[in-house]
A and B are shown apart, each in its own frame.
Chain A
């Protein structure tokens, strides 16, 4: 039986007295293990062109429909995950391991 699932250096799913919880390496208790942890994150949504050099294109109307989302631990600011998405689309529930 697993006590935890390491998802990355900052995020893990841990067995606790309160059931499976998504936890940040800083100790912050993020969310219930049966939910999309992204909902509990601090989220910065920006134009894809702002990611850096080379991301901008002259097809500005197409690019304007898209965004770059960064999901941070609301306590320590670690970037737990990212996604490129169409503006207004739901956060993708993409990581749902079970203990």
Chain B
């Protein structure tokens, strides 16, 4: 429980201006981007330096108070929905890029650094930090690491976990833990870095991250391929992968999504297309040209009605800005948007897309599908109104069926959005009782009082 003496300790530590207890402040930390009911926490703490983070966690443990770490609060699975009697620890004041090392190609950052700001700072030095979630303009590195966020470039460059070389975090007792290093290779001790990535704030609070950087590709080419049937687009995706070409980005948008996005972005997307593929290849000029040619011929062979190559950087930026706007653009069509994240092996993309279309029809729901088709990660997006109980029931059933189909195709429940509260009850269908027991054992050994973001991933 948070009693007045604990509250006083927090205030003494952080200063009054970084401790919020007014109801009107608490309510603004009761939600994230997931469609779940908000939970109003007891206090918000916004530490201005990392040492305070350890002290806060230590105090929470002593007093058995749950603590939920929050970066930008953009996760889509309820990972930052706090406990009613708990603390929300906001990391956005810990936002320094501590080092960008050009010689050894790594960066050391605090958890509250905004993804896009890091990417820009690194790019200014001719280096590249590839993970680029659609939310990168606001998401934090801490949140990216804790969700193992992906992005548009996952296909060729991987996801956040592929760039985390090392971490510093506070465990449930507030002990300082260091893992990994600034070296390319490191096998010293358990791979705690691997354990922490994607742990959604349930195993420790990350306060410093060492990130791998790579050279910035010298050339890029973006194109838009237009299809008059969705099946042709998805078959093209499978054919490109089967053709051993690895574009940096290979994104799909169905007609529903195209129309919503164009309304907002005015990027000149063809409104009558059944589906689009947004493709980017990068690397050395010769390689870029060769890949682009191959992709073009595959697209044509598979029946693309047209293919447009971005003329310049601004046209290219427009295409990607349009894609990044997809989720939110869909959101304006109906009061509630449910975004799914089921992912399948890439060859199964055509079948998965067909299944989603079929589920949408059977449950009479508006489903827009877009996403990282190239890495098998689709975002079927159901538009609904949660206030309509009858429809909401259909939505829940449809989601279940989408999950079942993805698993039946050898896929996974979530490619990148995490489990949080939203999907924890589906977890055992995929990973099985053994993995759940093992995870619960880890959790209870490391956090015996269950204070770190309780209820997330493995449930209570």
Q: Do A and B come from one complex?
A: no
